[in-house]
Chain A
C-alpha cells in the first residue's frame, strides 16, 4: 500500500473507532467501551466555568476506574433514558504509530415517553495508540460546552 493509501486507511480506522465508541455508549455495551481503551488509559471530563472563571475537571479516571464506574452504574439509581451520540471527527494527525484526533459530539437524550432533547455538546480530544493492527484510545479529554445537564450522570459522554 502506498503511504497515502495507508494514511487514509489509518484515518478511516480511527474515524470508525471514535464513532463505534459512541454507539457502544448508547447501547451500554460497557465491556466493549472499555476494550476500546488502552492500558492504563484515561478519561477526563472538563468544562470551563465563566461564573468562577476557572477550568474545571468533572471526572478524571483511568481505564480501570472507568470500568468500575460502568459496572457500578447498574446498582445506582440511574437515568432510564436512552442516549444517542452524534460524532463528527474534525481532525486527525498521525505520527509514528500514534494519533491525535479532535471530534465534535452531541448527545441526545430520549426519555421514556419518547421525547428527545439535546443533552450535551462538546469536543473529544483523543490520543490514540496502535496495538498490533488495532487503534485504541489512550486518553480521551471531553471538553464540554454544555454545563447544565437536565439529568446529571456518572456515565461517560
Chain B
C-alpha cells in the first residue's frame, strides 16, 4: 500500500498544491497516513534521543519509572551507585512485562511475575527458577541479562535512545545545550505536577500548536497579555540544527488580563514576567512563564492518537510558600483545569477530524516575519528535519523517485545563530 487514497484527491481546487515554495506548506497526509506513521516510529521516535523523565522523579536507589518509546516498553531506574540506567521492560525469558506499574522501587532487584526469574538493578540476571532444567543446553544467567537502552542525563533531564548508532545526546542537542544549561542547569529542579491525556490528533499537530506562536490568537489570555503588546513582536526565533528551537525571552503582561505579576521568584535565566518556549526535536516542548516551567512529552500511539504527558516544574529548594505560588501560576494558564489547555486541545482535535477524512489536504506554514515570533520558520525547519529523517518531502510525501531532502533552504533560516 502506498498511501490511503482520500476523497479530496478528486476534488478541485483543494487537491491542487498551494502556489507557494515547497517548504511553505505540507500535505496533510503526513499526519493521517498509517504507513508514514510506522516510518516515523522507526526513523524518528526510535532513532532520536527521547526525554523520559526528570531525575528528581527517581530520588532513591531502586526507584523506577516505566515508559513506552516508539511502542517499546522501557524501565528507567536508579541503581545502587545512584546512576540512572534504562532497560527494555521485558523479561528475556519469554517476554512478560517486568514492572507493571508506572513508578515504584525495586531496591531488591526486579522479579518477573511469570516464572520468577530475577534481575539486579544493573540488568544482570541473578536467578533462574529451577535452573538445572537448562543444564542440558548450557544456558547460563550471564546469557540472559536485560536489554539495556542508551541513557544520558543533561541538566537533570533523563533521555534514552533505542538506537545504538545515534550520536551522543549533547551532540544531538547542539546549540540548544547552552539554553538548557541557562534554564535547567543552574539550580536543582523538581517536578510538582504531572498529568496526561490521550488526545485525538496526530502528534505533530500538537508540536505545531505549541511551537507556533501565531496560535497565540487562539487564547483570549494570550491575545491580551502577549500579542497585543508591541514588545512581544520584537524578538526572534533561534533555530538550531536538528530542528531544535527557542524563542528569545519576551515579557508577558499578566496585568492586562487581571492576573498577578510574576515579578518575584523567577526561575533561573528568567526575567520578571518573562516567557520562553523551546522545542527539542521531535517531541519535547518546554515553556517557562517566569516562575514556573512546563515540560510536555508525547508518545504517539496511532496516527490520530497521542499520549501527552505534562509536567509542572519548580525548584527543589522552594519554600512551601514559593511552591504554592508556582502551583498557582501553573494552574492559572496550564494544567487540565487551566485556561489554555482546553483551547489547544480543541484546535488540534478539530484539525485531525477534518484531515482524517480528507476534508483538508494542505496546511500552510508560509508566514515570513524575519524570524519574529509569528514567523513560521521554526515549523518549516521542523518539517524539513522530519523530511530528512523519513526521506520524504513534507509537501509531497508520496512522490515517486528521488525525494528532495535538501534542507539547505531552511538552514538559511538557521544561520541567525
Contact = CB atoms under 8 A, between A and B. Distances in A.
A51 B335 contact: no
Contacts of A50: 101-103
B103 A51 contact: yes
B194 A52 contact: yes
Most chain-B Cβ atoms within 10 A of its Cβ — which of A54, A68, A79? A54
Contact of A57 (B219, B327, B339, B341): B327
Interface stretch (B140-148, B153-161, B173-181, B343-351): B343-351
Given A149-B336, A154-B337, A77 B194 contact: no
B195 interface: yes
Contacts of B65: 51
Contacts of A96: none
Contacts of B339: 72, 76, 154
Given A75-B220, A76-B220, A149-B197, A52 B342 contact: no
B109 to A, nearest CB: 20
Interface in B198-231: 198, 218-220
Contacts, number: 87
Interface of A is mostly: loop
Contacts of B342: 76-79, 151-154
Size bin of chain A's contact surface: 20 to 34
B235 interface: no
B196 interface: yes
A58 B103 contact: no
B338 interface: yes
Interface in A31-80: 45, 47, 49-54, 56-60, 68, 72, 75-79
A79 B331 CA distance: 18
Interface of B: 57, 65, 101-103, 191-198, 218-220, 258, 311, 327-328, 331, 335-339, 341-343, 345-347
Nearest 3 interchain pairs by C-beta: A77-B343, A152-B336, A59-B337
Given A77-B342, A153-B342, A154-B338, 14 more contacts: A49-B193, A49-B194, A50-B102, A51-B102, A51-B103, A51-B194, A51-B196, A54-B191, A54-B194, A58-B193, A60-B327, A72-B220, A75-B220, A152-B336
